[in-house]
Every structure is written in structure tokens, then in C-alpha cells.
Amino acid sequence: MAEDWLGVEAAVSASEGEDGDEGQEDGERRHQRLLEAVSSLSGRKRRKLAERTEASVQVSEFNVSCKGAGEKLVLSELLQPIRPKSALSSVKKELTRVKQKKAVELPLSKEEAKRVVREAAYVRTSKDVGKWQQVVLQNRRAEQLVFPLKQEIATVVPLEQAASAWKARTPLEQEIFGLLRKTQQPITDPLLTPEETASLQAMSLEEARQRRAELQKARVVQSYYEAKARREKKIKSKKYHRVLKKTKRRKALKEFELLHKSDPEAALARLEELEQLRMQERMSLKHQNKGKWARSRAIMAKYDLEARKAMQEQLAKNKELTQKVRVELPEEEPGDVPEEAVTSQEEEEEEEEMSEEEALLQDFAQKRHVRQQQAGSPEGRGADEAEAVSELLGDGPIPTICAEEQASAGIEQPPQAQEEILLSEQLGQARTMEDVEALASEEHGEEPEKPAAARAEKQVQQQEKGRAGDRRAKKPPAKKKIISLQAMLAETSQEVQCPSLPVVVEEEEGGFDQRGVITEAFAGDDVVADFRREKRKAEQAAKPQPVNLVLPGWGEWGGTGLKPSTKKIKRFLLKPPPAPPRKDQHLPHVIMSEQRNIHAAAHQVSELPFPFERHQQFEQSIRTPVGPTWNTQRAFQKLTAPRVITRAGHIIQPISAEDVPNVAPAAGGRAKPALEIAPKRQEQPFRRPRRRAR
Amino acid sequence: MRVKVLSRNPDDYVRETKLDLQRVPRNYDPALHPFEVPREYTRALNATKLERVFAKPFLSSLDGHRDGVNCMAKHPKSLSTVLSGACDGEVKIWNLTKRQCIRTIQAHEGFVRGMCARFCGTSFFTVGDDKTVKQWKMESPEYGEEEEPIHTILGKTVYTGIDHHWKEAVFATCGHQVDIWDEQRTSPMCSLTWGFDSISSVKFNPIETYLLGSCASDRNIVLYDMRKSTPLKKVILNMRTNTLCWNPMEAFIFTAANEDYNLYTFDMRFLESPVMVHMDHVSAVLDVDYSPTGKEFVSASFDKSVRIFPVDKGHSREVYHTKRMQHVITVKWTSDNKYILCGSDEMNIRLWKANASEKLGVLAPREKAAMNYNQKLKEKFQYHPKIRRIAQHRHLPKSIYCQVKEQRIMREARRRKELNRRKHSKPGSMPFVSERKKHIVAVVK
């Protein structure tokens, strides 16, 4: 950059020198010469222009006067002398190559060159400046701007920083400091760690709020789960817990199997754990009928069947837990066939059991649900109670069977299954609908095809019909014997979609004249009668209306269903004086509106003001009140917030790239701006469209 | 026996301390508060009237100069300090809170043509008719010390204006050419020329600080880029531009004060036509300065008045004048957006409020709320003719009033003539030229 400056400077000084030489007075020239002499004294080297003494036709800029100035130099002439010498072959080659090259174009004139530079610079600068476009538009549109733009964030100065400048001076202070030092009290202990200070500066309010919300949510979820666990723990039913435990175990087993398939190693590790458990069980005396409880049971066992059963159960459990788990390795498939068969049988049994368990659990859940509903909705208590009672009496298993059926049906027809899920919430009806469906499915056989597919098929058919109306005779597929509601609905909708195109075409072909069309188009209109009706309506509307000032309840009994007395109505229904005769009284074809009030017009806005596009908009803006009489305090504050806020005694600096995050620092414009907008024609922000209001 | 009585929670109606405001339960049912629009209209009307009643913008006059005030400069760091240069070469530094001159320097022989403060506020520069550029310390000299400039640069020609770079130790002067100087050197870093005429003002762009704008007496406005040390583009207007000022919030917007009584706001990317023509003055506009918020600007005119224009409006929102104020030569908007300073021919600097009816000093919250509400109402009903009439009414001195009238007649006559000409010439031979394009002669690349 510095060299550039220097270069320019030199050029300027040179040009100045030339200017001086050209057309100045004698004294000026002498002065100039003196200046030059002085400047040469200063030791600054200048190229001295060789003085010309001879007048020649042309002088080159290097002060070489040549004789054959007008003649052209031909390259071949230069080549001639070096022809015989082979040593100069390389030179010759170069020269021939030069000969083949085209002549360089003339450089641009100084003015032209400057203009090119200027244009390039202008384009670049306007591009650089254009990156402010977004910011500027944003600020222009902003609801509120607070100046100065750079708001200082108040940070807490650490105590040790504030205290570092302070020194103990008075004897009391010194004494205290001495004591503190003696006890090695950390005076300069960083009260705020660097991280804390960083977080203080970095954590914005928004972030903090977000974080707080997250924490709150997590806490809520946690408390919810806690409550759930507590609730479940509270359930006293042993059966429920037993069933629950069993299902858990089943689930664990299933998971283990899955794991065994997907990740054998992890399964092995799991197995080890199980083995550990088994070992523990073997060591412990827990399930061996030797505890206090077991002994008491043993006494009872003689007479009580249940006690005996419990003991046996315990023993069975022990057996189960101490049983060694066999490891099935995938390689041993062929040898294990019978075993597998056995296991499969077992599994079937288990599944049955499981379904029962599930059914039981569901039963529990339903009961709970019913109870909750009763608690929640006192209105529907009566009906629900009856159901609950009936359930309690012993028709519990029926819904479970239904549920099974639902599940089985769901596999076959997913859309119907969805419906059932919705319906299952209302117990009584679900059953009946289901029965109907079951019946239908029995009758249909393979009927239940997906309705979407049916619709698509239908559409295709309809299209075909549209193209060739004759083919309408074609029979619908024989499959449809039973009319389903869905199909019917689909059909009716399709019927509407069917275009009536061919009819229109026929009409066009028939031909017609313009007048006919017009008369046909306005066949039903009776303009004169319409106008008359309109005028009558306007007359009616312009008639002054009686003013009703009747207040029910004043001077007599009031209340619902009571009407004010006729006497009162007669007294307080004020009849206005008759209106002056209308101006269009004797003009049958004219309606003259007398709505416009000239006196009010002086106070009304006659023209739609600029930022509004439609008069409704403007009217709306006037109609909404902003005052505290009609708005709450907060709304009032929001509505009356000033557009620009400045703080007294604060200097407002010009906007800079630091104030605006998305404008890259304009460090010489070298850095590519983050957002670059091509300098396109700016949409006129200041234009005022003139439009008339009503 | 159980007696039922009305009972209320005292928390709902008892104040905690007697300094608290009384709770006023309110019912916002619109049926209870009818006639919203008429009531608000009345309030708006009253607010507008009160605004006019309280519009007393003139604060004080700073007298002390012995010749017309030719230029002023704001202190970049201190709101209470203002510098002014007079036609007799005297520079005064004023304290606005005390409204006193705190320092006087005989800076130049002849006019002080221009002055500017360094961005850090430690020193300031002046240029004068004696072909010198002088740099001065901002603090007054110690007792016994002589009042002397830090640096003096002797130039070959008269400098007519000066402006300092907003971030670097670089300043620009104008005269026969625009020179850009390093503070440490006695010769300019580079000189920018385009055409030969005296340049009356040069201004650095406050946002994109490498940009410069200048206006010359051959009616043109030229933009320069300091990085490439090249001019960028030139606009030739109908008449001479006296000064220009860049918008401090919008990097590409600048406003030019023209001799033809108008101000032109340009977007530097589209110089073919100004974004806005601001017309209201009745004589040459001599100076212009933007408010630091970039929403408005103030202009000083030869017609002895100061006007405030919103950037996006064609007409002024305010006109300031006093009986004794002569041709206003220079004007500044203070950096806190609160006050306006104008220096005029009759040796005085006047301090005005930027918002004529604003109450100065600390406002109570209720006062503030009321003020905001009134402002909002005025805005809401500003298009209603009666309110607009009151809000727009300004008393003008007779000279300006007559001038305005005369100009209106002239403009009307011109319009009529054009209309007639158009009527009597071949259709299409007299194209319509918009007001914006009318004043631009050419844009030179």
C-alpha cells in the first residue's frame, strides 16, 4: 500500500511540474526553477530530462531522435546478418517465434484506463456497502429501536480485583490484615472462578430460561414416575403382584432369547449372571421350607389346603431357581430336534398362560380405569357404575376374549383395528360392533380388501367412463355382492367428480349468436324491478327510526318472562318527527343518497393514508383503542411503546459491524461478507402510493 | 346461629406500605366503556394542542464570537463540549451544561474554514484561509504555557474543509483536490482529483470508513474509495451542493444540501436518482447533519431558519427560527439525539431541543406512560384533517412566509406551463420527468 501512495505522490508532483512549465509567466518560471534547484539540493534524485537542441520530426519519449522515423522496421532485415552463423540459431528461433506472434494491442488511453478502474472500484464498493442492506431494512421496519445499539452487559467485578487496588493504611486496618495473615485467611481467594465469570458473560438469559425449562420438565417426569411406582407398590392384591412378577420374568426370558440370537456373547455374560444367582440360591435357605413362616405353614399344612399349596410353591421355586440352565449353541441344531419340539410345546403352553396373565393384567387395568372414570366424571357415574358392578359380578373374562379377538382381527385388517381401538374405550358398544364385524367378516370370506385399493380401482374406472361414455354398460366386478358402507361412500363421491365434458362440447358445436347468448344469460333478470326494489329499500332505510327508551323493571316487576307494560312502552318509545321529503322523490330513475354528512366530513379522513392498503385496514387501526381505559396495563404498555428509545447522556455511536452479528467485519472488504446481497434495485421504501379512500 | 357475611381477602385491597399505589380493580368490559374512538380522538386532539402549547425549542444562545460562526464540531466523547470556528479565525470551545466558553484560540488568519475532532477526542484539527492545517490539543494549556498547535501543515492552496477518519489516524482535507493525510506526515498520503474545481466539503462515511464523499462547486458530488485511492462515481446536479452528510445508521445513504433550496437523499449504489427530495427551505441550504439515530436530519439554510426532516419524508416536520437569527451557516445534531446546535452569521451559536415540546429532565414513570400514550394517539389520528392542521401549523417569519407563498405560485405556474406545452405538442414528445429525476443532470462513471 505504501508504495502505491508513494507512486501516486511522485506522479502528482511530476504533473504539477509540467503544468508549471507550460504556460506561465516569466517570474513564475524563474520561481519554478529556483524550487527545482532547491529540491535537487535536498538530495532527492530526479531523472533529468535531456534537453533537446535539434528540431527533429519525431522524438521518442526516451529522447532518441531517429533518422528513419517514419520507416517501419522489418524483422527479416534483422534476421539477415545472423543467417550464416549457426551459433546464433537459438536467437534465430526466438526471433521467428516472435515473428509469429501477433502485435499487442494499443494500451487504453489514460482517461479510459482511469474510467475502467473507477467502474471496477465502484462496483466493488457498492457490493461491500450492499451487505448492510438487510440490516438497514430490518432497522427501518423495526417496531422498536433502542439506542445506543451497543448495550453494555453489567458484569460483577470479582472482589479480589476490586480489592487489589486497595491497601491497608490506618493502624486498625493493618492490625486486621495482620490477624488475617496470621490465620492465613484466603483474602485473594478467587470468589468467582474463571469458568464462572465466563459463564456469567456467556450464558444469555434465553439459554438460562431454556435450561430451566428442561430441568423443570425432567423433574416433572421424575416425579410422575415416582408417583406411578408408589401407586403400583400400594396395590395390595397378591394375585396382581404375582402375575406382574411372572410377566416380568417371562419378559426377561424373552429378551434373553432375543439377545441370544442377536448377540451371543452378551447372552453368555447374562447366563453367567444367572448362574451366579443359582449359586446364591443354592447356598441360601430361603426357599427350602426352613424359615419361620415355612414352619408355621408346615403346622397348618395338615388342615389347610392353601398352606400346603404355598409350601409346594416355594419348593417349586427353589427347584426352578437351582435348576441348571442349558446352554444352546447354534452349531448343535441338528442334534437338538426333539428337544426343540419339547420346548416349542412348552412355549405354546406358556403362551396360553401368558395370554391369561395378560388378560388378568388387563382386567386389573380396566377396573382401575373404571374407578378413575367414576372419580373423574360425576355425570356419567350412573351408567359406569352399572357396568362396573356387572364386571365385578363376574363378566370380566368376556372383554378379555373380545380383546383377543380384536388382536386377531387387527392382523388381518389394519384399518378396522384402528377403529376398534377407538371404540374399545366405550365398553358396551364395542362388543356389539365387534359382533357385527365378526358376522360381516364371516360372510365376506375374502371380501375385506383394502378400501384404498378399491378407491384407486374405482378412479381408474371413472376415468375410463369419462373418456368413452358408451362403455358405461360395462359391468362392475362381480366381487361386490355385499354392499359395504365404505364402498358406497366412495362411490357417491366419485359420482360427483365425474365431469360432464361431452355435454358442453355438444352445445358448442350447435352454434349460436351473441345476442342470443346475452338474452339467455340475463334471462331471469328484471333490472327495472330490481332498481325499484332497491330504491324502496333505500327509502325505508332513510326513514327515521323510533327510539326505544323502555327500561324493563323500572316502576314495575321485572324478571325473565315478564314484559314491560304497554303503557310504559307507549310512553318511552319515542317517535321521531317525519323526515324531510327526499330529493329524489320525483325522480323515478334516480337514488340520491343523503348519507353523507357534510359537517362530519370536515373531521373525517378523505384519502387513504400511505402505509395502509385498504380502507378496512385503516378503519381497523382507528377502531382499536390503545388507552388504559380499554386495555390492561401490560397491553397498554406494549401498544404505546415508543419507536425509538434513547438514553439521556449516552453518546450514540454510528452502527458498526460489531453491533450487527451477521455483517462480517469490513476489514478492507477483503473478508467475504457472511451475507452478500447483489446490489439490485432497491424496492422503493419511501414511495407513497396515492389511493383514494371511500 | 350462623351468620353469613361478605368477606374479602385483605391482600386484595390493602397496600403493603403507604407508599404503594392504591389498587384499582378495573373492569375492561367494552360495554362499560363506550365511544372508544371519539374519546380517543378527543384525547389525541388535546395531546396535539398541548404539544403545540409546549413547543418551546429554543434553549439558549452561546455568544462570544466576534464574527459569524463558520463551522462547528462535536466532541466525540463528551456531550457537553462543542467547538466552533468563526470568520475571524477564532476557535472557541464551549461547555454546554454551563453554557459558557471555556477556551478561545486565535487559530487562523482569515476564516476558519473547517474543523473536526479526532475520533478519540484528544485533539482537533482546523483549516483556515491562511492555507494551513493545524492540530490542537483538546485540553487547555497549563498556566504559563502558550496556546500553540501540536502540528501545523503549510499547504499550497486554501483548504475549504476537513474531516477526520472514524477509526484511524487519517484525515481528509478538500480545496482544489481531496487530500488524504496521515497524521504523522506533512505531505498528503494521496490526492484524489476528478475535474478541476474547488471542493467545498468532504465527509468520511462513519460506517464503511474507507468511503468518502465530496461536493464541488461545479455542481457535482463525487464519491471516493480510500483503499484504492480512486474516485468512484460522480453525480452532476442542477445546482451546487454545499455539504453532504452520511447517515450514521445506513451505510449507503447520504444527504446533500443543495443551492436550489432542496436536500437530496441518495443511495450511493443507485445515483441515477435520489431516494428522496426534501423541499421546504426557501433559500440555499448551507449545512446538514444527521441525527445519531439516522432517522432524521437537520438542515441550516440561508433563509435564516433551521429545519428538521424525517429521512423518509419529503417535507420537514419542524422549523426553528428566531427574530435575531441571521443566515444559518452551520448546524449540528448532538450525539445523544436530544439537542441541535446552529451557528449563524450574527456570531451566535444557538441551542435547540431536537423535539420541540419534549420535557427535559427526569420523567416519573406515569409521566412517561402519559407521554408515550399521547405520542401514540397523535400518531394514530395524524391523518384526521383537524388534528393535522394543528400539528402542522407553524408560525413563520414574514420573509419566509412570503417566500413560501411566492414559491408555491412559481411552482404552480411552472406546472401549468408544462401542462399547456404538453397539451399543445405531439403526444409523447414531452415525456413526464419525475421530481426525483428532474434535478439530476448526469451521472459520470
Check CB contact of A620 with chain B, cutoff 8 Å: no
* pLDDT attached to residue B288: 96
Question: Which has the higher per-residue pLDDT, B294 or A489?
Answer: B294
Strand order in the sheet with B318-320: B285-290, B296-301, B306-310, B318-320
Q: Which B residues in the span 133-172 are in contact with A, Cβ-Cβ below 8 Å?
A: 166
Are B259 and B297 contacting, i.e. CB atoms less than 8 angstroms apart?
no
Could you please report the per-residue DSSP string of A147-185?
SSSSPPPP-PPPHHHHHHT----SHHHHHHHHHHHHTT-
Please list every residue in chain A whose beta carbon sits closer than 8 Å to the beta carbon of residue B312.
Answer: 140, 685-686
Cβ contact A640–B375 (<8 Å)? yes
Partners of B82 on chain A (C-beta within 8 Å) are: none
How many CB pairs below 8 Å do chains A and B form together? 180
- According to the model, what pLDDT value does residue A356 have? 67
Specify the DSSP class assigned to residue A334: G
Average pLDDT, chain B: 93
Per-residue pLDDT, averaged over B210-235, amounts to 93
- Residue A494 in this model has a pLDDT that exceeds 50: no
- Residue A281 Rama label (left phi>0; alpha psi -120 to 50; beta): alpha
User: Min CA distance, A48 vs chain B (Å)?
Assistant: 23
pLDDT band, very low/low/confident/very high, at A361 (cuts 50, 70, 90): confident
Find the mean pLDDT for residues A14-33: 62
Q: What number of other Cβ atoms are within 10 A of residue B413's Cβ? A: 10
Residue A388 CA to chain centroid, in angstroms?
A: 46
B276/A686 Cβ within 8 A: yes
The better pLDDT of the pair A39, A549 is held by A549
Partners of residue B208 in chain A, C-beta under 8 Å: 125, 128-129, 132, 666
State mean pLDDT over A652-657: 91
**The pLDDT of residue A11 is above 80:** no
Taking the Cβ of residue A648 and every Cβ of chain B, the question of whether any pair is shorter than 8 Å is answered with: yes
Residues B419-426 have a mean pLDDT of 94
Specify the higher pLDDT residue, B25 or A524. B25
Q: At what angle do helices A397-412 and A414-423 cross, to 10 degrees?
A: 150
Phi/psi of residue A435, nearest 5 degrees: -55, -45
pLDDT for the residue A64: 58
Which residues does chain B have within 8 Å of residue A15's beta carbon, measured at their own beta carbons? none
Residues of A in contact with B28 (CB under 8 A): 630-632
Asked whether the beta carbons of residue B249 and residue A136 sit closer than 8 angstroms, the reply is: yes
Per-residue model confidence (pLDDT) at position A153: 66
CB-based contact A603 B36, cutoff 8 Å: no
Which 8-state DSSP code applies to residue A309? H
Residue A678 has a pLDDT of: 37
How far lies A60's CA from each of A50, A64, A69, A74, A103, in Å? 12, 6, 9, 19, 20
* Of A18-27, A268-277, A335-344, A452-461, minimum mean pLDDT range: A335-344
From the list A621, A648, A685, the residue facing B336 with the nearest CB is: A648
On whether the CB atoms of residues B100 and B90 are closer than 8 A, the answer is no
pLDDT of residue A441: 52
- Provide the pLDDT confidence category of residue A387 given band limits of 50, 70 and 90: very low
Q: Which helix (H) or strand (E) holds B118?
A: none
Q: Which residues of chain A have a CB within 8 Å of the CB of B252?
A: 126, 129-130, 132-133, 136
pLDDT in tens, A170-190: 889 888 888 877 776 655 555
Q: Across residues B52-67, what is the average pLDDT?
A: 95
Q: Residue A89: what pLDDT?
A: 78
Provide mean pLDDT across the span A474-483.
Answer: 45
Identify all chain A residues contacting B267, using CB atoms and an 8 Å cutoff. 682
CA distances from A449 to A419, A474, A480, B53 (A): 16, 22, 11, 85
C-beta atoms of A685 and B338 within 8 A: no
What ipTM was estimated for this complex?
0.92
Q: State the pLDDT at residue A512.
A: 60
Cβ-defined contact of B36 to A640 (cutoff 8 Å): no
Contact B276 A121 (CB under 8 A): no
Can you tell me the mean pLDDT for B151-157? 92
Instruction: Find the range with the poorest average confidence among A110-119, A156-165, B100-109, B421-430.
Output: A156-165
Nearest Cα of chain A lies from the Cα of B129 at a distance, in angstroms, of 22
The rounded mean pLDDT for chain A is 70
Q: Closest to A147 (Cβ–Cβ): which among B228, B337, B376?
A: B337
What's the whole-number mean pLDDT along residues B273-292? 95
Predicted pLDDT of residue B228: 86
CA distance A395 to A420: 20
Distance from CA of A598 to the nearest CA of B (A): 14
Amino acid identity for residue B196 in this structure: F
| SS3 state of residue B124 | strand
Would you state the pLDDT for residue A491? 44
CA distance A577 to chain B (A): 26
Q: What is the pLDDT of residue A562?
A: 85
Q: What does the pLDDT read at residue A616?
A: 94
